Amino acid sequence: MSVERDILAKNDREANANRREFSRLGIFALNLVSSPGSGKTTLLVETIGRLGGELPITVIEGDQQTSNDAERIRATGAKAVQVNTGKGCHLDAHMVGHALERLAPAADSVVMIENVGNLVCPSAFDLGEAHKVVVLSVTEGEDKPLKYPDMFAAADLMILNKCDLLPHLAFDAALVEANARRVNPAIEILRLSATTGEGMDAWLAWIRGGAVEARRRRAAAAPRAQGCACAEAAAKA
């Protein structure tokens, strides 16, 4: 237990360093978590296609093996850095810190981190993101928020993806939402289909809102920083 505590404490320190860097640059950073195949990469590709023109988006891709997802992102023209975790089942803040050095995201941009497909381990690791976004698809069953409560408790937003398939399934979307709220009463929920685009506008608006807020905070911090420099110069004179 104490080894686990040490690992998480070290991760939290590195996550705070990532968060400071995001905040210094006015970057809105999201950590997308889900089981494999829920549609994270598809959602990212479609999001970049719709939003990339107005808002620079870069991506950190986490997978145990292959660069397949980073290549899918690069095909959109967006910059992506692949991190292979080997036997590791999640990204940690140290890996993301290194990936950020290679990614070199622009100020006032959006950084999307696609975590390793796994509904358990990524919940414990803060990467310095503004929000964890859990993507659950309608083929996974209504009980998943109850079976994997840590993930749904850690997320601020749940995306219910593949809603285009609802007419073909015995899946109760209201029940999965109620289960998510039992675990996390404050969780926001958006229903969408990454492949048909239905419901995407609300997701794009949610991202825009976060990006505007991240920029506003950076702009609000800037005059204070200048003030400090002026005060130092005056003190030296």
Ligand X SMILES: Nc1nc2c(ncn2[C@@H]2O[C@H](COP(=O)(O)OP(=O)(O)O)[C@@H](O)[C@H]2O)c(=O)[nH]1
Pairing of strands 131-137, 157-161: parallel
- With CB under 6 A as the contact rule, the residue among 161, 184, 200, 210 that binds ligand X is 161
Between 19 and 144, CB nearer to ligand X: 144
- With CB under 6 A as the contact rule, the residue among 19, 132, 144, 162 that binds ligand X is 162
- With CB under 6 A as the contact rule, the residue among 11, 18, 34, 123 that binds ligand X is 34
Q: Out of Mg ion, ligand X, none, which partner does residue 37 contact, by CB within 5 to 8 A per kind? A: ligand X
Q: Out of ligand X, Mg ion, none, which partner does residue 11 contact, by CB within 5 to 8 A per kind? A: none
Helices (DSSP H) in the chain: which residue ranges? 2-25, 40-51, 68-74, 93-103, 144-147, 149-154, 173-183, 200-236
Q: Which of 5-13, 158-166, 173-181, 210-218 is the region at the interface with ligand X (rule: CB under 6 A)?
A: 158-166
- Phi, psi for 159 (deg, rounded to 5): -100, 125
| Identity of the amino acid at 219 | A
CA-CA distance, 22 to 225, in Å (whole number)? 16
Asked if 193 interacts with ligand X (CB under 6 A), we say: yes
Q: Which two tokens stand for residue 226?
A: 């200048």
Find the residue with minimal CB distance to ligand X: 39
Q: Which two tokens stand for residue 110?
A: 């959006």
Between 35 and 109, CB nearer to Mg ion: 35
CA-CA distance, 66 to 83, in Å (whole number)? 9
Q: Out of ligand X, Mg ion, none, which partner does residue 209 contact, by CB within 5 to 8 A per kind? A: none
Residue ranges in 10-49 that form contacts with Mg ion under rule CB under 5 A: 40-41
**Kind and range of the H or E run holding 83:** strand 80-84
CA-CA distance, 124 to 121, in Å (whole number)? 6
Start-to-end CA distance of the chain, whole Å, equals 55
To the nearest whole angstrom, how small is the minimum distance from the Cβ of residue 185 to ligand X? 26
Residue ranges in 43-72 that form contacts with Mg ion under rule CB under 5 A: 69
- Residue count at the site for ligand X (CB under 6 A)? 16
Asked if 191 interacts with ligand X (CB under 6 A), we say: no
Which has the closest alpha carbon to 130: 10, 41, 15?
Answer: 15
Between 37 and 227, CB nearer to ligand X: 37
- With CB under 6 A as the contact rule, the residue among 56, 62, 105, 117 that binds ligand X is 117
Q: Which two tokens stand for residue 62?
A: 């986490």
| Residues forming the site for ligand X (CB under 6 A) | 34, 36-42, 117, 161-162, 164-165, 193-195
